[in-house]
Amino acid sequence: MRKSVILVTRKLPQAVEARLKRDYDVRLNPDDTLYNRDELIKLAEDADAIVACHTEQFDAEMFGQLPDSVKIIANFSVGYDHVDTRSAKKAGVIVTNTPDVLSDATAEIVMLLILGAARRAGEGEKLVRTAAWKDWSPAFMVGTQVTGKRLGIVGLGRVGQVVARRARGFDMEIHYHNRTRLRPALEAGAIYHETLEDLLPHCQFLSLNAPSLPATRGMLNAARIALLPDGAIVVNAARGTLVDDDALIAGLKAGKPAAAGLDVYNNEPAIDPRYKELPNTFLLPHIGSATAETRDAMGFRALDNLDAFFAGKEPGDRVA
């Protein structure tokens, strides 16, 4: 019996690739090459499915060129803004993602960003590595205490709820904004704000955990930054598109917000170079889901979706 042909766009964890090789006729990427559009189209010839990452863009033009054999794109990611779902539906291609499994890992990075930005960890590490640390004094490397502060979360979904639980370990008071208010059991005492403008004045810390949608792109702009209290710190481990870079960089230069912790960016990895010049930024290279446990779980979730599809069932994580 013919095995379904699966194109894998990036190198995946060993256990995930082993399962792929066991169950499918798989085209792997052992060198982890970042394929361009033409290369992907050529490699997808006669393929039944593609296991894709957020590093590949599947827009209308791409769907117009993909071989008709491709019937499903199983994303190795929870976000799927790199896929034009409307074009996918028009082309008859099913799209899935991998929710739930990366919430803990991403929430850990949010807390790292909060602590790193508040306690000036990037500056401190540079001082140690460059032997510029000379002595101690009461005024040396004074940062912002996290414990007991107000944390505003934009998007109290899967990741946002875990962030709230972790932040409560620092006795933080949780405020949030969602398109719709959550049930009291899910709020767990968090204070709801109907609009982002109502939320921002309360945010001594602000965590962006919303998906990238037309309504959320550039949501953190100059007008909204101005609503933050003095000394506020902003962190983003969701999507770079949530931030207006010009507005955030201008704000950081002016001292409002006081600092930012970022794991995601517009145009990554070619991020706006001005971020790297600012002392009040704590910058990470999009590692929110980068734990061995999470990456395995993401891969297995993507394969569960493939298995369901090829068994004639509805994939559990279908988004298009």
Report the distance separating Cα 103 and Cα 23, nearest Å: 28
Instruction: Out of 168, 268, 274, 318, pick the active-site residue.
Output: 268
Does the annotation count 286 as an active-site position?
A: yes
CA dihedral 201, 203, 209, 211 (to 10 degrees): 10
For residue 60, give both structure tokens: 């209308």
Segment holding 110, helix H or strand E? helix 103-118
CB 249 within 8 A of CB 274: yes
**3-state DSSP assignment of residue 152:** strand
Q: What is the DSSP letter of 72?
A: E
Instruction: Out of 27, 286, 295, 301, pick the active-site residue.
Output: 286
Number of Cβ within 10 Å of residue 42's Cβ equals 10
For residue 14, give both structure tokens: 């060993």
Report the distance separating Cα 256 and Cα 225, nearest Å: 7
Task: For 235-268, give the DSSP string.
Answer: EE-S-GGGB-HHHHHHHHHHTSSSEEEES--TTT
Instruction: Out of 158, 177, 202, 239, pick the active-site residue.
Output: 239
Does the annotation count 268 as an active-site position?
A: yes
Does the annotation count 82 as an active-site position?
A: no
> Of 100, 8, 43, 51, which is closest to residue 306 (Cα–Cα)?
51
CB 156 within 8 A of CB 176: yes
For residue 16, give both structure tokens: 């995930």
Q: What is the DSSP letter of 318?
A: B
Q: Active-site residues: which are they? A: 239, 268, 286
